[in-house]
């Protein structure tokens, strides 16, 4: 796999932007602590996510990947720079509900059943009851939890809770999905299963995805492109095209494919530098 230098600044005209899922230009986020201490969580971020593209953000702790995701979601504001989602400002995109989001802790409301959790965004945005019911039934089937629609979150395993969270994020059929380490709290076996599920869902919906992860194999398995970040200050250091085929074509046996291992090696080298692929691993990134 070839590693590319970060892409050149995209065409700044709004017309071209509107087709891109995410365009981040010169984004910077500085946190101010007590007594003037500052933490530069992100600096000089230039990133474009194309419509329908799966992009992973990977890097050690403190590299700002979760912060960048929150900026795209307008859960936080950049101290400098500009973020456009489908040609609109991040804030407008949030108001227009242009994306769906899944957090690392599933964040299900414990007093609502699975079905009620999934229908939450639909309820908030004024969708009628019968339309909600129909959509919830679709989604519950999509994530394979049709038998558990009336269960409550405390009756579900971690993996099942995450599936509900993903179903919820798809409720309004967004063209962009933002996911912050959604499989981070799961064991390896469940994790691999969920990754395959996510690919299938993506093949069916065709949404663009920005996916934050700690895990190199996960990033390579799922993505069209892996964006490598590093900390202090948080910045993008590399972008790697992962040419392993369309989402619909990737299957379980991809994990044993030579091309897959080459992709993993390429990302690992980008993370640690070439010598580290044979020597020990750096901190903070899963190299299994």
Partner 1 sequence: MTGLPDAAIVTQLAPPTERRRRGPGDRPLRRFVGLVVPPIALFIVLVLLVELVVVAAGIPPFVLASPSAIWDQLVQYAPQVLQATLVTGLNALIGLVIGAVIGVLLAIIASFIRAIDGMLVPIVAAVAVVPIVALAPVLYTMFGSTSEVARIIIASIAAFVPVFLNTLRGLRQVRPVHRDLMRSYAATPRQETRAVTIPSALPHFFTGLRIASSLAVISALVAEYFGGPRQGLGSAITTAAASSAYARAWAFVIGAILLGLVFFALTSLIERIASRHR
Partner 2 sequence: MTTTTPATRRARRWRAVLWGVLGLVALAAVWELYKLVGPADGWLIGAREGVTGSGIRLLPRTSDQAMPHTWEMLGRAAEPVTRAPGALPLGVVVLLAALVSLGIAALGWLVGVVVGFALALLMLGFRIAERAVLPFVILSQTVPLIALAPLIRNWGSRLEFGAFSWESWMSVVIIASYLAFFPVAVGALRGLQSPEAADLDLMRSYAAGWWTTLFRLRLPASVPFLIPALRLAAANAVVGTVVAEISVGFSGGIGRLILETAVAASSDPAKPWSPILGAVLLGLVAAGFVALLAAFLSPFRRQETVA
Contacting positions for partner 2 (CB under 8 A): 31-35, 39
Residue whose CB is less far from partner 2, 38 or 155: 38
Other beta carbons within 10 angstroms of residue 114's beta carbon come to: 29
Partner from partner 2, partner 1, none contacting 53, C-beta within 5 to 8 A by type: none
287 binds partner 1 (CB under 8 A): no
Q: Does 279 bind partner 1 (CB under 8 A)?
A: no
Residue 107 in the binding site for partner 1 (CB under 8 A): yes
| Among the listed residues 111, 128, 253, 288, the single contact to partner 1 using CB under 8 A | 111
- Check binding of 280 to partner 1 (CB under 8 A): no
By CB under 8 A, which span of 77-85, 93-101, 133-141, 245-253 interacts with partner 1? 93-101
CB of 76 vs partner 1, minimal distance in Å: 10
With CB under 8 A as the contact rule, the residue among 22, 27, 45, 73 that binds partner 1 is 73
Shortest separation between residue 39's beta carbon and partner 2, angstroms:
6
Between 18 and 109, name the residue whose CB sits nearer to partner 1.
Answer: 109
| Spatial contact of 226 and 268, defined as CB atoms under 8 Å apart | no
Of 174 and 234, CB closest to partner 1? 174
User: Could you say which of 152, 196, 281, 287 contacts partner 1 (CB under 8 A)?
Assistant: 152
How far is Cα 114 from Cα 164, in angstroms, rounded to an integer? 7
Among 16, 18, 109, 131, binds partner 1 (CB under 8 A): 109
Q: From the list partner 2, partner 1, none, pick the one residue 101 interacts with, judged by a Cβ distance below 5 to 8 Å according to partner type.
A: partner 1
- Name which of partner 1, partner 2, none residue 134 binds, using a CB cut-off of 5 to 8 Å depending on partner kind: none
Q: Is 158 exposed, middle or buried (0-12, 13-18, 19+ CB in 10 A)?
A: middle
Select 65 or 132, whichever has its Cβ closest to partner 2: 65
Q: Minimum Å distance from CB 114 to partner 1?
A: 12
- For the chain, give the secondary structure using H, E and C: CCEECCCCCCCCCHHHHCCEEEEEEEEEEEEECHHHCEEEEEEEEEEEEECCCEEEEECCCCCCHHHHHHHHCCCCCCCEEEEEECCEEHHHHHHCCCEEEECCCCCCCCCCCHHHHHCHHHHHCCCCHHHHHHHHHHHHHHCCCHHHCCCCHHHCCHHHHHHHHHHHHCCCCCCEEEEECCCCCCCHHHHHHHHHHHHHHHHHHCCEEEEEECEHHHHHHHCCEEEEEECCCCEEEEEEECCCCCHHHCCHHHHHCHHHHHHHHHHHHHHHCHHHHCCCCCCCCECC
Pick between residue 29 and residue 250 the one whose CB is nearest to partner 2: 29
Binding site for partner 1 (CB under 8 A): 70, 73-75, 94-95, 97, 99, 101, 103, 105, 107, 109-111, 113, 120-121, 123-125, 152, 154
């Amino acid at each position: 796999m070839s590693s590319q230098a970060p892409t050149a600044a995209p065409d700044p005209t709004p017309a071209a932007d509107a087709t891109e899922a995410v365009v981040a230009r010169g984004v910077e986020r500085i946190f101010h602590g007590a007594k003037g201490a500052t933490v530069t969580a992100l600096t000089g971020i230039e990133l474009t996510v194309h419509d329908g593209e799966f992009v992973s953000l990977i890097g050690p702790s403190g590299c700002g990947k979760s912060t960048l995701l929150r900026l795209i979601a307008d859960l936080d504001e950049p101290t400098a720079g500009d973020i456009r989602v489908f040609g609109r400002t991040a804030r407008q995109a949030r108001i227009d509900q242009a994306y769906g989001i899944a957090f690392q802790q599933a964040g299900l409301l414990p007093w609502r059943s699975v079905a009620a959790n999934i229908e939450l965004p639909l309820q908030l945005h004024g969708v009628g009851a019968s339309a909600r019911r129909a959509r919830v039934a679709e989604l519950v089937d999509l994530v394979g939890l049709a038998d558990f629609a009336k269960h409550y979150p405390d009756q579900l395993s971690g993996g099942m809770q995450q599936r509900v969270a993903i179903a919820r994020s798809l409720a309004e059929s967004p063209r962009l999905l933002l996911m912050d380490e959604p499989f981070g709290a799961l064991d390896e076996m469940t994790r691999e299963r969920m990754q395959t599920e996510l690919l299938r869902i993506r093949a069916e919906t065709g949404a663009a995805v920005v996916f934050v992860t700690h895990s190199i194999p996960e990033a390579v398995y799922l993505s069209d492109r892996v964006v490598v970040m590093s900390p202090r200050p948080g910045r993008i250091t590399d972008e790697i095209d992962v040419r392993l085929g369309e989402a619909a074509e990737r299957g379980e046996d991809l994990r044993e494919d030579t091309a897959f291992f080459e992709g993993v090696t390429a990302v690992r080298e980008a993370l640690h530098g070439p010598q580290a692929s044979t020597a020990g691993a750096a901190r903070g990134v899963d190299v299994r």
